Amino acid sequence: MTVTVSAPSVEHHRDPIGIGERRPRLSWKISADVPFTQEAYELELDRGDGPRLTRVESAEQVLVPWPGVGLSSRERVSARIRVIGRDGSTSEWSPATLVEAGLLYAEDWSALPAGAAWAEDPDSDDRRPSLVRRGFDVEEGLVRASLYISAHGLYEAELNGSRIGDDALSPGWTVYPQRLRYYTYDVTGLLRPGSNVIGAWLGDGWYRGRLGWRGGFRNVYGTDLSLIAQLELHYADGRIETVATDPSWSAAPSPILRTGIYDGEIYDARDEQAGWSSPGFDDAAWSPVALSSLDHATLVAPTGPPVRSTEEVRPIEVITTPSGATVLDFGQNLVGRIRMHVTGAAGDTVTIRTAEVMQEGGIYTRPLRGALSTDVYTLSGAAGGEEWEPRFTFHGFRYAEVSGWPGDIEAAVAAGDLVARVYHTDLERTGWFESSNPDVNKLHQNIVWGMRGNFVDLPTDCPQRDERVGWTGDIQVFAPTASFLYDVSGMLRGWLRDVAAEQLPDGTVPWYVPVIPSEHMWTPIRPGAAWGDVAVLTPATLFESFGDRAMLDEEFPTAARWVDLVEKLAGDDRLWRQGFQLGDWLDPDAPPDAPAQAKTEKHLVATAYFAWSTAQLAEACAHTARQHEATHYRELAAEVRAAFCGAYVLPDGRMTSDTQTAYALAIAFDLLPDAAARALAGNRLAELVALAGNRISTGFVGTPIVNHALTATGHLDTAYAMLLERECPSWLYQVDMGATTVWERWDSMLPDGTVNPGQMTSFNHYAFGAVADWMHRVVAGISPAAPGYRKILFRPQPGGGLTRAAASHETPYGLASISWTITDGVLTVDTVVPVGTTAVLELDGREPVALGPGRHTATAEPEGVGIRAQSADPRTAVR
């Protein structure tokens, strides 16, 4: 028998270096070639003074408690696991994981924000960023060096001429006054005895750069551009020396002349100072820095991975437009930056303008609104060529217009001298789907690309125009899809802490987080259904996907304040019928310039969400030992459901808003009083879909649930018909129009190939891609039947002419997968169940079948369901 245990993972970190948890929980995955059930585990921790063993009698293997004494700041501990089976067998030790704590307390910090002291116009977008540096000595006997670093703005650090780390846009965007993230780097290998130099590039980023639409706002968080760095040198004799940002640092103008998240970057390589971050450089002309204030208690360690470049994409075509411009087509709407390798004379200038689409004979930038999305590089004339990529910006684009290229650009493209580098939060991919329909597969691929492009440190609405903010409604509806496709547990836990930080004292949850100023309809901040419900529903989704009760417990106060606020707003009749609402935003029948004018009455939507969030909050209370609160919220949810039916469901079963969204909400949110009412609603929903020619007639609220509602009421064929419809508005209309991501509007591109005239016309918006959740759960047939996939439901529901489908998901316990085929009328289902879980297979018309860990094959034939186990080892499942 072979039982293999993975190296333990730590909380929700991909790399547990510089973590902020004193008592981090541990998880591991088990593979076995025969049936194996964990009955106990042994955890070995080595704090540098020898290993210490703890045995725990438990079958738990996900987020188990840290034993003994918690971590101290800077402490490094090696952890490994072995498991004991019910039969008394013991596995080999797992590989060890090194856990390193960051600076856990405010008093651990001495660094202050240090930046250029020269005068600037705070209202200008042309403020020139600075470089900052400091020299220091390292003695013999160095055993370890750790750098803790953040910024007012963005940073990219160097040590002795080498870049530190491979992350980008750090420290990211959080609610800086309350939560300023820092990162930790092990830089021991970059240091040498004697003279050393640390330095950093700085960029405006979200801290002081322009944010928002209609001209936006500058200096939202401050006017300074400063580095916050603390380098700690640990010596063999126990000494710790600290090199922190303080008055001894120097600053100089950067070769970056201008940089902005929206507008791009202007860089003059002639202003480079060779060796500026290395010993021996003469910095006599550099200026002393100015220091800014900082509350060290606001510095927080990351809960998820940083932004990184995860892929490079080369152009598929070089286009010469009718005007003679040169445009590169990368074949994919992506988010990132272009890296160039170029040879030319000093002063030659290359300009790159990006856009998602082409129209009128060139790149079409109107959808970008106020975002210039332009990068400019002036060559130094270096022999052998120059390589450059912007540091502190990102663009959403498929096309790039290149002007001023010195030489043959087609030859340069062929040589790989111009590539797009894809950037997003470096989440672990955990979910896959494919089917026998290539267009459905393309839709799913587009959904994945859209998620990647909108998870750039926080979940945004769009990645290209002058917006890119964390709209709460978008992630609320997309979270089930997101948490299947990627491990978003750490990233979204951090973002939910920002939601809590931005929640108003009365319980109002902002429309977007972090909050930035806005004129027009978003200020003052007002409570709105579906958007504010992120405080309840996204933690519930994360709990379903990852099984983290501590996260659910932590989010309870935010969630409860939201529901309690809505209870007050609704009053004794339990109907939320007051205030500003977005409703079923971007209903396809709404006017292009009035996306909130949906067919479904806004307060019907608001009351439906009030009922659903209250019910979900009751469940969260039950899972976190709040029985009194659970009873209260269950009773409140029942009152709201009754009020909803009384106000919005007519005696004949029709609804006051006779729309797809109204019926979908009533069904999916379990608002109807009995099975008969549910059946009537399902039948009417199916009728409305048929009357619409199977085309979409829902907006942000209805689209994620309409297929689920149809399926739940026995209208699977209609749900498939919607998925496969090709006329606008539909998912496959976008595929037929050449989409490579999901659009903001169903008709962001009109059938004649022109761009929708509305002011909001993004070609990369993930919200309508929430249908992927239905594809995973229904088309392929995999979903969690217990929190964290401790129990798995396999329930494939073939239809739409598909002859096969498959999905796999890397659960907290290991890989679970399902694939089914139909051959000669026989359905064959292959499943993989990871060790530590159980599963149930449900096929229509058959009794459910319990499955244990391993690989299983089932066939559905007239005489019943046949099941055979092929292997207990799920490691060979195909992704």
Residues contacting residue 198 through CB under 8 Å, at least 6 positions apart: 133, 134, 136, 147, 157, 158, 159, 229, 231, 243, 277
How far is the C-alpha of 806 from the C-alpha of 473, rounded, in Å? 29
Instruction: For strands 838-841 and 791-794, give the pairing.
Output: parallel
Q: In the chain, what's the furthest Cα-to-Cα distance?
A: 88
Residue 862 is predicted with a pLDDT of 53
How far is the C-alpha of 269 from the C-alpha of 255, rounded, in Å? 6
Residues contacting residue 174 through CB under 8 Å, at least 6 positions apart: 180, 181, 300, 494, 498, 514
Residue 866 is predicted with a pLDDT of 60
For residue 622, the surrounding DSSP H or E stretch is helix 602-623
pLDDT tens readout for residues 814-843: 999 999 999 999 999 999 999 999 999 999
DSSP string, 172-213: --S-TTT-EE-EEEE-GGG--SEEEEEEEEEE-HHHHS-BSS
pLDDT tens readout for residues 43-57: 999 999 999 999 999
For residue 708, the surrounding DSSP H or E stretch is helix 703-712
With CA atoms as reference, report the closest residue to 135 among 206, 229, 198, 216. 198
Residues contacting residue 235 through CB under 8 Å, at least 6 positions apart: 139, 141, 142, 143, 241
On the 0-12 / 13-18 / 19+ scale of CB atoms within 10 A, 107 is exposed
SS3 category, 355:
strand
For residue 869, pLDDT over 70 is answered with no
Structure tokens at 151: 């910024």
For residue 667, pLDDT over 80 is answered with yes
DSSP conformational letter for 297: G
Tally the residues of the chain.
879
Residue 758 is predicted with a pLDDT of 85
For residue 539, the surrounding DSSP H or E stretch is helix 534-546
CA 860 to chain centre: 38
Model confidence at 868, pLDDT cuts 50, 70, 90, reads low
Instruction: For strands 299-300 and 395-403, give the pairing.
Output: unpaired
Half-sphere exposure (Cβ direction) of 656: Cα atoms closer than 13 Å: 11
How far is the C-alpha of 777 from the C-alpha of 433, rounded, in Å? 11
With CA atoms as reference, report the closest residue to 540 among 597, 618, 601. 618
Residues contacting residue 243 through CB under 8 Å, at least 6 positions apart: 134, 136, 198, 229, 230, 231, 232, 233
How far is the C-alpha of 505 from the C-alpha of 400, rounded, in Å? 46
Measure the CA dihedral 620/622/627/630, to 10°. 50
Specify whether the CB–CB gap between 340 and 421 falls below 8 A: no
**Top-confidence residue, 76 or 844:** 76
On the 0-12 / 13-18 / 19+ scale of CB atoms within 10 A, 869 is middle
pLDDT tens readout for residues 354-403: 999 999 899 999 999 999 999 999 999 999 999 999 999 999 999 999 99
For residue 879, pLDDT over 60 is answered with no
Specify whether the CB–CB gap between 877 and 864 falls below 8 A: no
State mean pLDDT over 32-36: 91
Residue 519 is predicted with a pLDDT of 76
Structure tokens at 167: 């992350």
> What stretches of 647-743 adopt beta strand conformation (E)?
none
Structure tokens at 67: 């034993």
Residue 701 is predicted with a pLDDT of 98
Structure tokens at 671: 């608002």
DSSP conformational letter for 64: B
Residue 128 is predicted with a pLDDT of 97
State mean pLDDT over 719-735: 98
How far is the C-alpha of 818 from the C-alpha of 822, rounded, in Å? 14
For residue 861, pLDDT over 80 is answered with no
Residue 551 amino acid letter: M
pLDDT tens readout for residues 294-315: 999 999 999 999 999 999 999 9
- Mean pLDDT score of the chain: 96
Residue 523 is predicted with a pLDDT of 86
How far is the C-alpha of 336 from the C-alpha of 366, rounded, in Å? 20
The strand pairing partners of 376, in sequence order, are: 266, 351
For residue 867, pLDDT over 70 is answered with no
Write down the residue that tokens 């970008």 correspond to.
368
Instruction: For strands 791-794 and 804-811, give the pairing.
Output: unpaired
For residue 865, pLDDT over 60 is answered with no
Instruction: For strands 804-811 and 838-841, give the pairing.
Output: unpaired
Structure tokens at 608: 């439906």
Specify whether the CB–CB gap between 535 and 551 falls below 8 A: no
pLDDT tens readout for residues 79-89: 999 999 999 99
Helix pair 489-502, 534-546: axis angle to 10 deg: 160
C-alpha angle 506-489-850 in degrees, rounded to nearest 5:
115
Q: What percent of the chain has pLDDT over 90?
A: 95
Active site residues: 467, 744
State mean pLDDT over 156-163: 98
The strand pairing partners of 30, in sequence order, are: 5
Residue 845 is predicted with a pLDDT of 86
How far is the C-alpha of 762 from the C-alpha of 72, rounded, in Å? 47
For residue 157, pLDDT over 70 is answered with yes
For residue 1, pLDDT over 80 is answered with no
DSSP conformational letter for 618: H
For residue 876, pLDDT over 50 is answered with no
C-alpha angle 8-11-14 in degrees, rounded to nearest 5:
70
For residue 857, the surrounding DSSP H or E stretch is strand 854-861
The strand pairing partners of 4, in sequence order, are: 31
Specify whether the CB–CB gap between 244 and 108 falls below 8 A: no
How far is the C-alpha of 487 from the C-alpha of 333, rounded, in Å? 23
Q: What percent of the chain has pLDDT over 70?
A: 98
How far is the C-alpha of 395 from the C-alpha of 729, rounded, in Å? 27
For residue 266, pLDDT over 50 is answered with yes
C-alpha angle 51-52-54 in degrees, rounded to nearest 5:
140
Residue 553 amino acid letter: D
Give the number of other Cβ atoms within 10 Å of residue 86's Cβ. 12
pLDDT tens readout for residues 522-542: 889 999 999 999 999 999 999
